[in-house]
Amino acid sequence: MKIAKTKSRIRELIQGQAIGFVPTMGALHEGHLSLVRESKSRGLFTVVSIFVNPTQFNNPEDLARYPVDLDRDQRMLEVAGCDLVFIPDREEIYPAHNGSDAYIHDFGFLESRFEGHFRPGHFRGVGQVVHIFFEIIQPGVAFFGEKDFQQLQVIRRLVEITGMDTEIVGMPTIREEDGLAMSSRNRRLNKQQRTSSLILHKALAHARQYKDSRPLSVIRQDVAAMFSQEPLAELEYFDIIHSGSFDPAETYIPSTDQRVVIAAYVGEVRLIDNMALD
Ligand code: AMP
């Protein structure tokens, strides 16, 4: 496995390759590795970036506390069969302005709903950094997790707006055995918080279980009640939406791509999850 820290070095190392690209912020887990394995299984020269992108953090504390574990990450990537890791520093990605300039692309309703609403500027930062990486690496295929479902839609929109020639592949959410969606942020949970964090998955499972038998308005109330019983967790949003528009659904209609989305704080740690309703 090769390691590149600069744009010029990575350009040298990827020449002539059919590339599968997996952008990450490091502190890797099985969720990330599932994307790497998918890329490898397609016979692609697999490039993983590790870059904690400052422009997508709307909360400076969250950025300061984002876990970093580069040695472990590199060992895991090597075992998973990654061909090349790109670990640029901030100057390499944002040389002129260090990421503070306004970004030109507008992701429409994706920026004002759910994650967009609660994390102002977040998706512009995501779009900005993915655009920069795509221009450097020019991947034929790029892999993203459905764990960040709204982000996946932002990336699809980015490719549409810019006309970049990269296929976007969305991959299923990898979970711990008890249902918690894997996330780099889970490392920051203490034992009690780790137990409380299960409430996110329970809320999603509740919606799936009762979608046929209870009005969605009742399911929303049930979930609010579940959270009121869980002192370590604070619900930010829970909703059942139409996946295409992110509009809240009034009733459950089978096979129409409805989805449950949730965000909650457990202690200081903000967790998100989502699941198809069918
Ligand atoms: P991050 O390092 O959190 O920016 O995530 C990098 C990529 O891994 C994104 O495409 C995420 O959606 C994906 N990812 C993160 N967690 C999971 C998971 N539990 N299952 C599948 N993909 C994931």
The alpha carbon dihedral of 142, 148, 151, 153 has a sign of: positive
Encoded tokens for 49: 């970036």
Amino acid at residue number 256? T
pLDDT digits (tens, 9 = 90+) for 14-30: 999 999 999 999 999 99
The pLDDT, as a whole number, for residue 53 is 97
Please tell me the distance from the alpha carbon of residue 240 to that of residue 69, in angstroms, as a whole number.
35
Residue 84 contacts residue 22 (beta carbons within 8 Å): no
In the reported structure, the alpha carbon of residue 26 is separated from the centroid of ligand 1 by a whole-number distance in angstroms of 10
> Which residues form the pocket of ligand 1, taking CB atoms under 6 Å from any ligand atom?
24-25, 31-32, 34-35, 144-145, 147-148, 171, 173-174, 181-184
The pLDDT, as a whole number, for residue 103 is 67
Amino acid at residue number 53? N
Work out which ligand 1 atom sits closest to the CA atom of 146: 12
- Residue 99 above 90 pLDDT? no
Task: List Cβ<8 Å contacts ≥24 apart for 197-203.
Answer: 197/233, 197/266, 197/269, 197/271, 199/226, 199/227, 199/230, 199/233, 199/264, 199/266, 200/233, 200/262, 200/264, 200/271, 200/272, 200/273, 201/175, 201/273, 202/226, 203/227, 203/238, 203/260, 203/262
Please tell me the distance from the alpha carbon of residue 110 to that of residue 127, in angstroms, as a whole number.
12
| pLDDT tier, 96 (very low <50, low <70, confident <90, very high otherwise) | confident
Q: Whole-model pTM?
A: 0.97
